[in-house]
Amino acid sequence: KSRLFFLKTVVEPANRIDAFKNAYTSLAMDKNAAFINNRLATMHLENKNADSAIYYARRAMIFAPKWRASYSTLSEVYKTLNLPDSVKKYEQQSKAADPSKPIEINKPLSKTSNAKPKFGITAGGGINRLNPTFSGRPTNNIVGVNPVNALKFDAGVLFYTALNKHISFRPTISFGFENADVEFERRNVVGGVITTETLHNKIISGNLSAPLLLNFSNNSIAPYLLFGPSFSYIIGENKTAAELLPVSKSIFSAEAGLGLNIKIKKSGFIISPEIKYSAGLNNIKKESSSEYSTAVSTLKKQGFSMCFYFRKN
């Protein structure tokens, strides 16, 4: 009789009220039948009642721990709840030779799992500026200095390592192409009128950044914060500007930003758009006898950028 009422839930599922009555009647006659509990789980899932679906799927697992169907059902329930870790766990168990053996998805990452470095590429651009401080020593009528916003672009390669579930390490090596401009104010001796002159410098640099990433989730779209140090070395610059306002070739900075890990479905890749702010930690102005260098007492670098990182998941 129990199986007869169970078959009615399969053959005549259109009327949900009668289908549930037949399912519970079947269960009352055979409470330990895994197939009845699993059928109730799928019915509650269709009825968008996730809690009850989980309850009956787990009962089915208890009564038939090596039966794969209940693990698949539980995976489908967790998909509706947007819990990817649980989905992955029960999908793996449903395909295992012995699904009754639990799979630990939150155990520490081993050297052979996600801790293995992933390689990728990066490209981006933004606004760069040198922040000068006026020395207060007018030379050839220079009475002030101002920062100038200028464009920058960079591209390179990255190495991504997950240290644990929430923290990752992403060193990046890149080459940057940027303008480094400073505006000088001059007072005209004849009329006392202040005019401006911009000193333009084009720079090519090699960059190394080593930020830590604080990941908030492992969903298909997951935000993260980043912070860490970076180092740049100038490998090429405008010769005239370098003579008039020489700067140190080594630049140390601190970086902070916000990004999104976006998983590209079925491809196994992740693209991460990221907004980042960097601030120079050292005074990069070098001593020189030029009037431009004399007018500047300190010079530091800062900038905003929008970068894209592309890597394998």
Contacts (Cβ under 8 Å, ≥6 apart) of 228? 209, 210, 211, 212, 254, 255
Per DSSP, 65 falls in state T
Q: How many CB atoms lie within 10 A of CB 111?
A: 6
pLDDT digits (tens, 9 = 90+) for 144-153: 899 999 999 9
Please check the confidence at residue 108 and state whether its pLDDT lies above 50. Answer: no
Pairing of β 202-209 and β 182-187: unpaired
pLDDT digits (tens, 9 = 90+) for 135-176: 887 677 888 899 999 999 999 999 999 888 889 999 999 999
> What pLDDT score was predicted for residue 110?
45
Beta pairing partners, 185: 144, 196
Q: Quick one: how many helices (H) and strands (E) in the chain?
A: 8, 13
Contact 3, 12 (CB under 8 A): no
When comparing pLDDT for 12 and 273, which is higher?
273
| CA atoms lying within 13 Å on the CB side of residue 304 | 3
Q: Which two tokens stand for residue 102?
A: 């639990």
Percentages (nearest 5) of helix, strand, coil residues in the chain: 30, 45, 30
pLDDT digits (tens, 9 = 90+) for 60-95: 889 998 888 889 998 999 998 888 888 888 888 888
pTM of the shown model: 0.61
The owner of tokens 């992403």 is 170
